[in-house]
Structure 1
Amino acid sequence: MTAPVTRTCSRPDRERVLGSDHPETLTTRADLARWRGEAGDAAGAASAFGQVLNDLLRVLGPDHPATLATRHNAAWWRGQAGDVAGAAAALAELLSDRERVLGSDHPETLTTRADLAWWRGQAGDPRGAAAAYEQVVEDRLRVLGPEHPGTLAARADFAYWQAMAGYTVRPARTGIQDACHVQLELADDQEPSANAPIQIALRLHAEPDHAWALPDAQWPTLEVVATPISHADIEPASALYDHTHDLEFSLIPNKPGRHVVRFTVFHHATGTALQQVETELIVAGPTPGNQVLVPLPEHRGRR
């Protein structure tokens, strides 16, 4: 069966058949701009989104959802191209309009708040970014629920900017700190090296006299957020913990040297921080596999 023409035609075809101001033509131009950015040309994407925005303002008006979305994309790629202060300023202006048009609890408004917090941090205000993400997490929990990908992403970004600001989490006094401890272990025999993944397994060990140590114990749903405090990437940034299996994280250090990773355990439904530990890896020379990593004390920043 032949695919519909509207799914296969290029921008020149849509401009010829539908006209340059047709909504589907403008959508194709926006998609082209996004893929230009994904291909590595952030400046070109920002410029292309700016051109699409000018036409959307003329054709659909300033309050149309497509216009607002294009303003967001133009600001995002502006930041990716290096103008982080300009991106933050554009998103701050957009936030006022999205709150007015869509409401403060609309998912796209929450996305603008999250991205504004991100570029605020990138512009040199990690404390402001952490404070903003804390509120985004609370509102996404309330509006979207704990399972929504946006909530999980915001919690991971909140933990990241807390780390960048030098803060540590003050865990809630639930008893978990005294009854359980986080155990980390290298999950393979490979020697740590720059730009190569290092597998880290995480488990939460319950003391024998704790209720969670019983064979039929009902563990609450826990979420673990991993934050590298060094030149490194980690995947996944957050994951739900199942006490019957280890969680596995893949750390990719971008250069040799000392790398610190922070793991924060949250109560998934409420977002309450229960535990926080840090561990370090030295990426230089051979390191034995299956080595137990010793968490560092919570010594960074404020308590």
Structure 2
Amino acid sequence: MNASAPNDNLRQQAERALQTGDFAASARLYEQLLPDISPAAGTEDADTLTARVQYALALYGLADYPAGETQLRHVLHGQQQLLGLDHPDTLTTMARLADNLGEQDRWTEAGELARTAVERATTVLGAEHPAALTCRLTLAWVQYHTVPHESEESIRATVRDIVAVHGDGHRDAWAARHLLIETLCALHQTDEAESEAHALIALREERQGAEHPHTLRARADLALVLYTAGQADQARALIDEVAETSNRVLGGDHPYTAGIHATRSTIAA
């Protein structure tokens, strides 16, 4: 990647937009910053590949999974060539790609990729290496969606290890807690799910703000937990408030708003 000041500034803007949850702005900036993928161009440098991962995360936030998959497959090939099969960055990209495939309901592919990433990361780096933890989180997420009643132990272990290594302020810790809440709700362990949901909302509000897309999603999750626990009136009041905020802040066509409205429809049924 050209290291000129204008490009550095553009990248900082793109990263800032991604962190604040403005996925559309981040994606537009990365699209300006990054060259089109060209097989004839050869392997890109590590810095450019890292920027492409961030671009893929912005596309993930917009639910543009096919475009994100294209970026991640390009990155994975480049990292394998440049860094090797077992480098932490390569393994983390494998996990990101498995996440993407799962979102496209390609669970067999996602599971195979996530298991390979976990096996390599655990063998080469150790089960508590940050890259291994990211891979384990992805595999636990795939297991939740494919064998939910067999996934609780794996998810709890992943949450415990991520928090032990990173603390509560890391994005993987938040994602792991989100997955645990979903699992507990599905298993009707609603008291613990509600407690975890309140804790996660507090963390996200403190670190990301009350109107960040991930905070709004966490509040929608709490509404679903309350509904599952039989607190229908409280759940409806909360999801109505979250839906109104999401419409106002993110817009009615934002993927997170659509997800919140889907939760609202479930609660209203």
CA distance in 1, matches of 2:202, 2:169: 11
Partner of 2:154: 132
Contact 2:159 2:173 survives alignment (8 Å): yes
Partner of 1:261: 225
Partner of 1:11: 35
Of 46, 51, 54 in structure 1, the residue corresponding to residue 74 of structure 2 is 51
Partner of 1:88: 111
Deviates more, 1:4-13 or 1:63-72: 4-13
Deviates more, 1:19-28 or 1:53-62: 19-28
Of 93, 98, 103 in structure 2, the residue corresponding to residue 70 of structure 1 is 93
CA distance in 2, matches of 1:26, 1:283: 44
Of 139, 144, 149 in structure 2, the residue corresponding to residue 121 of structure 1 is 144
Q: 1:42 to 1:147 in 2, by over 3 A?
A: closer
Partner of 2:195: 224
Q: How far off its partner does 1:102 sit?
A: 2.1
Q: 1:239 to 1:50 in 2, by over 3 A?
A: same
The CA RMSD measured in Å over matched residues stands at: 4.3
CA distance in 1, matches of 2:122, 2:129: 8
- Aligned amino acid, residue 121 of structure 1: Y
Of 159, 177, 189 in structure 1, the residue corresponding to residue 181 of structure 2 is 159
CA distance in 2, matches of 1:53, 1:111: 16
CA distance in 1, matches of 2:135, 2:197: 23
Larger radius of gyration: 1
Q: 1:145 to 1:92 in 2, by over 3 A?
A: same
- Aligned amino acid, residue 140 of structure 1: I
SS of 2:225's equivalent? strand
Contact 2:128 2:165 survives alignment (8 Å): yes
Query: What is the count of residue pairs matched by the alignment?
Result: 200
- Aligned amino acid, residue 195 of structure 2: V
Partner of 2:232: 280
Of 134, 145, 149 in structure 2, the residue corresponding to residue 111 of structure 1 is 134
Partner of 1:273: none
Larger strand percent: 1
Contact 1:136 1:154 survives alignment (8 Å): yes
Q: Tell me which of the two structures has the higher relative contact order, counting C-alpha pairs closer than 8 angstroms and 6 or more residues apart.
A: 1
Q: Report sequence identity in percent.
A: 24
Residues 276-295 of structure 1, C-alpha deviation per residue, up to 9 Å, x if partnerless?
A: x75222859xx9xxxxxxxx
Contact 1:155 1:225 survives alignment (8 Å): yes
Gaps of 5+ in 2: 11-32, 204-214, 241-269
Contact 2:43 2:82 survives alignment (8 Å): no
Partner of 1:239: 202
CA distance in 2, matches of 1:49, 1:12: 13
Q: How far off its partner does 1:261 sit?
A: 2.9
Q: 1:137 to 1:42 in 2, by over 3 A?
A: same
Q: 1:30 to 1:106 in 2, by over 3 A?
A: same
- Aligned amino acid, residue 176 of structure 2: A
SS of 2:197's equivalent? strand
CA distance in 2, matches of 1:92, 1:168: 30
Name the TM-score, length of structure 1 as normaliser. Answer: 0.52
Q: How far off its partner does 1:43 sit?
A: 1.9
Partner of 1:216: none
